[in-house]
Amino acid sequence: MKTWKDHIRKVVPYVPGEQPQGDHVIKLNTNENPYPPAPGVRRVLREMGADQFRKYPDPSAGLLTRALADRYHLPAEQIFVGVGSDDVLGMAFLTFFNSKKPILFPDITYSFYPVWADLFGILYETPALDEEFRLRREDYKRDNGGIVLANPNAPTGLCVPLTQVEDIVRWNQDVVVIVDEAYIDFGGQSARALIDRYENLLVVQTFSKSRSMAGMRIGYAMGSRALISALEDVKYSYNSYTMNAPSIILGAEAVKDEAYFRETVEKIVRTREAAKERFRQMGFSCTDSRTNFLFVSHERVSAKEIFEALKRAGIYVRYFAVPRLEDYLRITIGTDEEMEELYRFLEKELPKMGAERAEH
Ligand code: PMP
C-alpha cells in the first residue's frame, strides 16, 4: 500500500465564475469591466515585439511600481505588485497571519479568504454581518490574529465609511489589517489615506475591474515600508518573477491615462444607478452597491430560477448556492446595450416565472 496519497495537502479550492467562450453571450458574472483597456494600452500592445520575452522581466517590476507610486503620491517602497490582487492577497495572508490567534473576516465576503486561510493553516473566525449585510464593528474589537475586510464588500456591494474602517484599524494596531479595495474606484473612500498613520494597514487594489485588465492579472498593495518589505521577502522566497514583462509595461501604460479611467468608471456608475431603479421596478430588492455589480433578490421568483433562465438565454450572472446568499444574484454592470437586453429579457420572462415558489 503506497502512502504518498496520505501526504498530499488536501484543500477545498476556490471556485471562480464561469468563463463561457464564444461571442454570443452577455457576460455579467465575474465583474469584468465592459469597456476596453485605455487607448495607450492598446497602442503599446500593438507595437510590442516578442524580443523582450527572451529575457527575464525586472523582478521588482520597477516601471509599474513607479507608475503607481507617481499616481498615488507614494514612495515606490510603499507599493507591492502581484499577479492580480488574488496573488497579492494570498501573499499577504502567508506573510502577515502567522500567529496562533484566529484572524477575522465577515461570514459573507470574498469566498477566497477561507481558502487561503485553510491552505496556509491559518485559524479564522467569521463574525456574521447583520440582517442587512452590514458590518458590526464591535465584532472586530477583540483579541485576534489579524483582520481582512473587503470594502466595498463582495458580493453585497456595500461600502463602510472610511471613519469606520479607521476605527477598526485604530483598535487593532497589534495585528495587520488588510483592506481589500477591489471595487473602491466605483464608490467609497480608499483607506490609502490612512497608511501613513497606521503601520499595520495594508490596502490592496486591482487592475481587473476599474482598469479593464482582468486578463492581464495585475494587483497591488499599498502600506508602510515595513509591511511592503515583509511582503517582498516572502515573494522572493517563492517566485522572484511573478510579474511578466507585458504586464509591467501595459500596466504602467494604463495608470498614465487618468482621463480614460475616470470616464469609464463614471459611465459604469451611471449605468449602475439607472440599473438599481430598473431592478426595483421589476420587483427586485437591491442593496446600495458602490461597486460595478448589483446584488439583487426578487420578491416572488427564486434567484436560482432566474439564474437558470438567464443562462439558457446566454446571459451569465453569478448565483451562490450557499446559506444566506441563495436568494440573491450578483449581476455585473455591463454596457448600456447589454443591460437593456437583460431588462428586456427579465421584463418579458419574469411574469411567467415563480410557479415553483408559489406552490410552497
Ligand atoms: N477581491 C475581491 C473582493 C474580488 O471580488 C476579487 C475578484 N474576484 C478579487 C479580490 C481578485 O481580483 P483580481 O485577482 O482579478 O485582482
Distance CA 257, CA 39 (A): 8
Mutate which of 19, 33, 86 for ligand 1? The one with the most ligand atoms within 8 Å of its CB, which is 86
Atom of ligand 1 nearest to the CA of 153: 3
pLDDT surpassing 90 at residue 18: no
As to burial, measured by CB atoms within 10 angstroms (0-12 exposed, 13-18 middle, 19+ buried), residue 105 is buried
pLDDT surpassing 90 at residue 282: yes
Could you report the per-residue pLDDT of 89-141, keeping only the tens digit for each? 999 999 999 999 999 999 999 999 999 999 999 999 999 999 999 999 999 99
Could you report the per-residue pLDDT of 183-214, keeping only the tens digit for each? 999 999 999 999 999 999 999 999 999 999 99
Atom of ligand 1 nearest to the CA of 214: 15
pLDDT at 23: 74
Could you report the per-residue pLDDT of 26-62, keeping only the tens digit for each? 999 999 999 999 999 999 999 998 988 999 999 999 9
User: Could you give the C-alpha distances from 241 to 61, 91, 94, 95, 125, in angstroms and in order?
Assistant: 9, 14, 18, 18, 33
Atom of ligand 1 nearest to the CA of 109: 3
Long-range contacts at 57-63 (CB < 8 A, ≥ 24 apart): 57/241, 57/243, 57/244, 57/245, 57/248, 58/248, 59/236, 59/240, 59/241, 61/243, 61/247, 61/248, 63/248, 63/249, 63/252
Could you report the per-residue pLDDT of 286-345, keeping only the tens digit for each? 999 999 999 999 999 999 999 999 999 999 999 999 999 999 999 999 999 999 999 999
User: Could you give the C-alpha distances from 23 to 43, 152, 292, in angstroms and in order?
Assistant: 24, 31, 22
Query: 0.75 cut: is pTM over it?
Result: yes
Confidence of residue 21 (pLDDT cuts 50, 70, 90): confident
| Sole residue written with cell 509591511 | 227
Residues 6+ apart with CB under 8 A from 319: 303, 304, 307, 328, 329, 330
Cα 285 to chain centroid, rounded: 23
CA 86 to centroid of ligand 1, rounded, Å: 6
Does the Cβ of 205 fall within 6 Å of ligand 1?
Answer: no
Beta bridge mates, 315: 26
| CB 304, CB 319: distance < 8 Å | yes
Share the mean pLDDT of the chain: 96
Residues 6+ apart with CB under 8 A from 142: none
Could you report the per-residue pLDDT of 209-248, keeping only the tens digit for each? 999 999 999 999 999 999 999 999 999 999 999 999 999 9
Distance CA 271, CA 138 (A): 35
| CB 303, CB 262: distance < 8 Å | no
Mutate which of 208, 325, 333 for ligand 1? The one with the most ligand atoms within 8 Å of its CB, which is 208
SS3 per residue for 7-68: HCCCCCCCCCCCCCCCCCCEECCCCCCCCCCCHHHHHHHHHCCCHHHHCCCCCCCHHHHHHH
